[in-house]
Amino acid sequence: MTQQNAITRSRLVRWRKLAPRQTLVLRFVVVAFVVSGVTSTAYAVGNSTAELIATSIISWTLSIFFACIDRYMRHQTPRIDRAEFTRIGRWMWAALRRSLMWLGFVTPRPESGKSAVYRIAVWVLFVPAVLGVGLYLFLKFGIAVGARWPVTDADEIANNQERFDHTVRGGLCTALITAFFTAALPEEVLYRSVVLAAQRRKSGTWISVSVVAVLALAVFAWVHIGFGTGNVVSGLVVGTLCTAIALYTRSLWPAIVVHGVYDAIIMVSWALSV
């Protein structure tokens, strides 16, 4: 009987050792719901429909729920008291912060010897803004995307007209919100964070990172196909530059600003055209 109890106890110990690995799955689930929360909230800012608001609330609620489950599995807390609620609050902030950092919302890494203020000023504000303007000039006048690949399909014309009308109706404020929150923020989270995750892997190589980057770029370009061939080409160029600066800075912020500035120039010009 004693020997049987010893065997049972050793098996329990063996399974408990697996708990940290199980929490990795929970952390992945938390990050997934944080991604859904960020993107749905960003879309809801630009277009506040009941469906987007409900999706945002559900996503954030589920991220909190699974983060609490993660805490319970790590600490096996027997009861919930006032002190535990305080610890859960701190744990939730840590889980949210960890998830956002995993996605790439960190201070850019180039010139790490410089202060954080300097790196933000240079790599989040100045350099991405210049690249966004240069990107617009290159696509507009360098290769003349609009003239080289005109939109002729009726459905594509309708999609572009709908986007144009939405921006014009809302004016300058809608143009800026759409550029940075409805377009740049969610799209960079969806298509560039996975590339940064591949870069951070200890076992990752430049080949694996390149494969992930190409796949993400292909999907990013494909989702623009409803707006015409020119929009797909623009998506490829914008996506390539955003991927490059994200990998170089190891941060998502510069890519968001490059993308946002490029879209803002286009949409602000629409809003001011009437």
The one-digit pLDDT tens for each residue of the chain (274 residues) are 455 555 555 544 444 443 444 566 777 888 888 889 999 998 888 777 888 899 999 999 998 888 777 777 766 655 555 666 677 677 777 778 888 898 999 999 887 788 999 999 999 999 999 999 999 999 999 999 989 999 999 999 999 999 999 898 888 999 999 999 999 999 999 999 999 999 988 777 889 999 999 999 999 999 999 999 999 999 999 999 999 999 999 999 999 999 999 999 999 999 998 7
Residues 53 and 166 in one domain: no
pLDDT at 80: 56
Residues 55 and 7 in one domain: yes
Contacts 24+ apart (CB under 8 A), 230-239: 230/145, 230/146, 230/148, 230/149, 230/150, 230/151, 233/143, 233/145, 233/149, 234/139, 234/145, 237/135, 237/138, 237/139, 238/135, 238/139, 238/262, 239/191
pLDDT at 15: 42
Residues 95 and 195 in one domain: no
Q: Is residue 181 part of a domain?
A: yes
Residues 77 and 125 in one domain: no
Q: Is residue 110 part of a domain?
A: no
What is the count of structural domains for the chain? 2
Last residue of one domain, picked from the residues 42, 71, 103: 103
Q: Is residue 111 part of a domain?
A: no
Residues 84 and 156 in one domain: no
Residues 10 and 57 in one domain: yes
Count of C-beta atoms within a 10 Å radius of residue 230: 21
Last residue of one domain, picked from the residues 103, 126, 153: 103
pLDDT at 12: 45
pLDDT at 2: 58
Q: Is residue 23 part of a domain?
A: yes
Side-chain-facing half-sphere of 31: CA atoms under 13 Å: 19
Taking the whole predicted model, whether its pTM rises above 0.75 is answered as yes
Q: Is residue 166 part of a domain?
A: yes
Residues 77 and 185 in one domain: no
Q: 208-225 burial, b for 16+ CB within 10 Å, e for fewer? A: ebeebbeebbeebbeebe
Q: Is residue 145 part of a domain?
A: yes
Q: Is residue 22 part of a domain?
A: yes
Q: Is residue 108 part of a domain?
A: no
Count of C-beta atoms within a 10 Å radius of residue 97: 11
Angle at 93 between CA 78 and CA 79, to 5 degrees: 10
Residues 253 and 128 in one domain: yes
Choose among 109, 35, 27: nearest CA to 73: 27
Residues 48 and 136 in one domain: no
Q: What tokens appear for 88 in the block?
A: 């859960």
Residues 238 and 157 in one domain: yes
pLDDT at 136: 97
Residues 152 and 236 in one domain: yes
Residues 237 and 172 in one domain: yes
Find all residues with CB under 8 Å of 225, minimum gap 6, and list them: 231, 232
Q: Give the range of the structural domain holding residue 222, as residue numbers without chain letter.
A: 116-272
Last residue of one domain, picked from the residues 79, 103, 127: 103
pLDDT at 8: 53
Dihedral sign from CA coordinates of 91, 96, 99, 100:
negative
